Amino acid sequence: MAKKKIALVGAGQIGGTMALVLAQKQLGDVVLVDVVEGVPQGKALDIMEGRLSIGTSAVLTGTNNYDDLAGSDVVIVTAGVPRKPGMTRDDLLNINYGIIEKVGQALKKTAHNAFVIVVTNPLDAMVYAMQKVTGFASEKVVGMAGVLDSSRLACFVAMELGVAADDVQAVVMGGHGPSMVSLYDFVSVGGIPLPQLMSKEKFDELSKRTAMAGDEIVGLLKTGSAFYSPGLSAVRMAEAYLLDKKSILTCAVQLNGQYGVNGLYCGVPAVIGEKGIEKILEVKMNDAEKAAFAKSVEAVKGNAEWVDNKIKG
Ligand code: TXD
């Protein structure tokens, strides 16, 4: 079977992290794309020179030319400007929309069958814009946020309970911002529902930390935003597609009537397999969670309208 081609548009902090992890997992050959001369080429060559130590057959190349996106099976887009302390995700809207528009036009020309995973912030608006600009089927254009937010909540629960990280599953839905919704009853600790192990008060504390986890890291790093956990989260989505894993992951998907939402991208549990987003799971929430989710959808709506106006020109 021919090796898969995975293109990483944006070879910065997250792009470089994903290139290394993808090489280790041998999911396919990797093309790093960036506008900065030398950065994609240098990072690709650097990992190539380390292949003996990780025992991989993956071939990595770097380029500044979008034509090299041709025939990609998966495209993961981190191209954009990361947040700096004091910047909100929405401050990024204008700058990063322009970048996503350029990348989307290139993908439309060269990679029509790709599964496109958008990472660039503000995430819900950028993935919405990507689908509009490319015109690709919504099942093939998805945003990475919920996998990261859910893994952050799961991490904080595991730390608090002193249990193995991979024994904790969590679900964080809604927009990728302060309005995201952490679901108490949906957290499983080794199959045990969290309410049997942790008070709602403590959970609410961890939910707040989850919603601000991006800011916490921006504040610590000072020069940019989180990149290891976002990179690992996006690779997890790509792997589900490439290996047809039918993984249930919370992703920013286009809702077409589900949860009473039409046309917007928002984070909900979905099944990712070889066809892309194969199923959107409508879960039952309690009244408070439903209200919080509705608020989160409202927060997403504004940015989507901004993108629509931008496209209309
Ligand atoms: O959960 C999530 N979705 C978020 C996403 C989690 C963390 C970071 N989030 C966002 O991802 C962040 O706010 C940024 O918008 C992106 C990328 O973050 P990263 O930390 O990787 O930023 P870098 O290191 O600045 O890398 C961005 C690269 C950089 O090398 C630029 O030169 C390049 O993008 N870039 C481009 N590449 C290709 N094409 C174009 N037009 C372009 N413009 C910039």
What is d(CA 93, CA 309) in angstroms, rounded to the nearest whole number? 13
pLDDT at position 176 over 90: no
Q: Is 33 in the pocket of ligand 1 (CB under 6 A)?
A: yes
Phi-psi region of 257 (alpha: psi -120 to 50; beta: other; left: phi over 0): left
Each residue's pLDDT tens digit, 55-95: 999 999 999 999 999 999 999 999 998 766 777 766 788 88
The residue whose CB lies within 8 Å of the most ligand 1 atoms, and thus the one to mutate among 81, 228, 266, is: 81
Average pLDDT rounded to a whole number, residues 150-164:
98
5-143 shares its CATH topology with 146-312: no
- Give me the CATH code for the 5-143 domain, please: 3.40.50.720
Each residue's pLDDT tens digit, 192-203: 999 999 999 999
pLDDT at 92: 80
Q: Is 82 in the pocket of ligand 1 (CB under 6 A)?
A: yes
pLDDT at 89: 65
pLDDT at 86: 75
pLDDT at 313: 80
Helix (H) or strand (E) holding 94: helix 92-110
Each residue's pLDDT tens digit, 6-37: 999 999 999 999 999 999 999 999 999 999 99
Of 201, 212, 214, 278, give the one whose Cα is nearest residue 244. 278
The residue whose CB lies within 8 Å of the most ligand 1 atoms, and thus the one to mutate among 31, 121, 228, is: 121
CA angle 223, 142, 244 (to 5 degrees): 115
Q: Is 99 in the pocket of ligand 1 (CB under 6 A)?
A: yes
Average pLDDT, the chain: 95
CA of 230 to the centre of ligand 1 (A): 11
Q: Which atom, in ligand 1's list, is nearest to the CA of 224?
A: 20
Q: Is 11 in the pocket of ligand 1 (CB under 6 A)?
A: yes
Q: Which atom, in ligand 1's list, is nearest to the CA of 16?
A: 21
pLDDT at position 210 over 80: yes
Question: What are the phi and psi torsion angles at 4 (to 5°)?
Answer: -75, 160
Q: Which atom, in ligand 1's list, is nearest to the CA of 145?
A: 1
pLDDT at 178: 86
pLDDT at position 1 over 80: no
pLDDT at 252: 98
The one-letter amino acid at 255: L
Each residue's pLDDT tens digit, 230-285: 999 999 999 999 999 999 999 999 999 999 999 999 999 999 999 999 999 999 99
Which pLDDT band holds residue 42 (cuts at 50, 70, 90)? very high
Report the 10 Å Cβ neighbour count for 279: 15
What residues are annotated to the active site? Answer: 176
224-247 as b/e: b if 16+ CB within 10 A: bbbbebbbbbbbbbbbbbbeebeb
CATH 3.90.110.10 fits 146-312, yes or no: yes
Each residue's pLDDT tens digit, 110-132: 999 999 999 998 999 999 999 99
The residue whose CB lies within 8 Å of the most ligand 1 atoms, and thus the one to mutate among 8, 20, 33, 34, is: 34
Which pLDDT band holds residue 177 (cuts at 50, 70, 90)? confident
Residue with CA at minimum distance from ligand 1 atom 23: 12
CA of 34 to the centre of ligand 1 (A): 10
Q: Is 148 in the pocket of ligand 1 (CB under 6 A)?
A: yes
Percent of the chain with pLDDT over 90: 88
Residue ranges covered by each domain of the chain? 5-143, 146-312
Taking the whole predicted model, whether its pTM rises above 0.85 is answered as yes
Q: Is 118 in the pocket of ligand 1 (CB under 6 A)?
A: no
